[in-house]
Amino acid sequence: MEYSKSYTCSFRVFRNIVFVIILLVSFVLQSCKTSQKASKGYDKSDIEIAMVKAMQWQEKNHKYGKGPTDWTNGAFYSGVMRAHKATKNPVFEEAMVAIGKSNQWKTHDRYFHADDIAISAAYVYLKSIGNPEVDLQATDTWIYEHLYQPQDWKEGKGNAEQKILWWWCDALFMAPPVLVQYSNLHKDQKYLEEMHKYYTEAYNYLYDKEEKLFYRDNRFFIRNMPTDKREPNGKKVFWSRGNGWVLAGLALILDSMPKDYVHRPFYENLYKEMIVKVVGLQHPDGLWRTSLLCPESFQFGEASGSGFFTFAITWGLNKGILDAKTYRPVVDKAWRALAACQQADGKIGWVQAIGFDPKPADKDSWFNFGTGAFLLAGSEVYKLK
């Protein structure tokens, strides 16, 4: 009898010890998992919620450069477009359809200016996924006029800055990705050929092969700049968002460009070359400063240029173009920093206002293209494994 009681008691103690060990192991494993998720910050549902909140806040708080068909809104809806492509959440498609119908599917009003086709990125995307409400008539007209009709800029008859068609580096985000999508939609590479002609013209005009960065326009060419017009540290002036436009545009171009397109290696090589340079300019806090080569001029980072860089780098990781060991930590830091730029109501702060050179931003400065950059970055981080 005493042996039986002693055996039962020992068994209960053993069972309780095993139960406690199982609980501890479970707790440790869950803690490690939670810690790992927190360190990476890549919970898909959290990212999707953050993107929806950003879009919804932006749609309630309009601020355009020249109106709802202009480049600022085009950049915003490019982000919405990529958010939908990544998540398939219908709220993003509904937003694109709503702005298209509100705009009567129009472009902006200058056929000669690359900025004014940016809004069509969302229209062409909707058409490509079979949305029946899209009307591309205005986009067709714009592309024909821009590519094939006479224009002073094509002939170097513009003003002091306007010597070529795409004379400012922002243009390389605004028009080329739309033209690649449009070429795919029509299964006609003549649009790709025209795009490549004007892209390489801009590359030869604006790209500094020594620094591996783009000047915003010819006002910043080092040969045109006296010493007192350079950065305070004597370096060349390279604007973060300007180079963000180019690098994000390259990712969008390559994402749509046919793999067998004869000039694709040019874009792949330029993308990789710029990535190496830009990654080396990231700050420990995860963001980039508005002046890439004189970051000490600005105490804080800036969200729009940083968002475009993060999108482009993460796209390369997702496509297997970039080495994960080297570039994943860059994205880890960048996305955590960008997420911290989002306020509780969805607003994306730390966005430099419309401009063409390095200027400061603060936690409350915002613009729709900054939200677009956040959505672009989130759309690729969402897909990381």
Question: Any residues with CB less than 8 A from the CB of 29 and at least 6 apart, and which?
Answer: none
Q: What is the mean pLDDT of residues 183-199?
A: 98
State what percent of residues in the chain have pLDDT above 90: 83
Q: What residue type is 173 in one-letter code?
A: F
Please check whether residues 285 and 343 belong to one and the same domain: yes
Catalytic annotation on 345?
no
Residue 63: what pLDDT? 79
214 in a structural domain: yes
Q: Which of 288, 310, 309, 277 is nearest to 208 (CA)?
A: 277
Query: Rounded to an integer, what distance in angstroms lies between the CA atom of residue 141 and that of residue 128?
Result: 18
Residue 346: what pLDDT? 98
24 in a structural domain: yes
Q: CATH code at 257?
A: 1.50.10.10
Residue 25: what pLDDT? 36
Please check whether residues 322 and 341 belong to one and the same domain: yes
Distances (CA, A) of 72 to 139, 339, 369: 17, 21, 5
Task: Render pLDDT for 309-335 as a digit per residue (tens, 0 to 9).
Answer: 999 999 999 999 999 999 999 999 999
Please check whether residues 180 and 327 belong to one and the same domain: yes
Comparison of pLDDT for 38 and 15, the residue scoring more: 15
Please check whether residues 237 and 372 belong to one and the same domain: yes
103 in a structural domain: no
Please check whether residues 24 and 154 belong to one and the same domain: no
Residue 116: what pLDDT? 98
Please check whether residues 18 and 152 belong to one and the same domain: no
Q: What is the mean pLDDT of residues 122-137?
A: 98
Determine contact, residues 206/169, Cβ cutoff 8 Å: yes
Q: Which of 170, 208, 332, 364 is catalytic?
A: 170
Q: What is the mean pLDDT of residues 213-241?
A: 86
CB atoms within 10 A of CB 86: 22
Please check whether residues 180 and 300 belong to one and the same domain: yes
CB atoms within 10 A of CB 295: 20
Residue 40: what pLDDT? 53
> Which residue range(s) make up the domain with 28?
1-40
Phi-psi region of 83 (alpha: psi -120 to 50; beta: other; left: phi over 0): alpha
135 in a structural domain: no
Mean pLDDT across the chain, nearest whole number? 90
124 in a structural domain: no
Task: Render pLDDT for 260-291 as a digit per residue (tens, 0 to 9).
Answer: 999 999 999 999 999 999 999 999 999 999 99
Residue 17 scores a pLDDT above 90: no
Q: What is the mean pLDDT of residues 348-361?
A: 96
Residue 35: what pLDDT? 34
101 in a structural domain: no
Query: Rounded to an integer, what distance in angstroms lies between the CA atom of residue 57 and that of residue 348?
Result: 9
State what percent of residues in the chain have pLDDT above 70: 88
Domains: count for the chain: 2
137 in a structural domain: no
φ/ψ of residue 213, rounded to 5 = -140, 160
Please check whether residues 316 and 351 belong to one and the same domain: yes
Please check whether residues 34 and 150 belong to one and the same domain: no
Q: Indicate the SS3 state at residue 320.
A: coil
Query: Rounded to an integer, what distance in angstroms lies between the CA atom of residue 33 and that of residue 43?
Result: 12
356 in a structural domain: yes
Q: What is the mean pLDDT of residues 95-123?
A: 98
Please check whether residues 200 and 338 belong to one and the same domain: yes
- In a 10 Å sphere around its CB, with 0-12 CB exposed, 13-18 middle and 19+ buried, how is residue 130 labelled? exposed
Distances (CA, A) of 331 to 76, 199, 229, 280, 325: 21, 28, 33, 13, 11
Please check whether residues 200 and 328 belong to one and the same domain: yes
Comparison of pLDDT for 3 and 65, the residue scoring more: 65
Please check whether residues 199 and 326 belong to one and the same domain: yes
* Lowest mean pLDDT, pick from 152-156, 227-231, 320-324, 381-385: 227-231
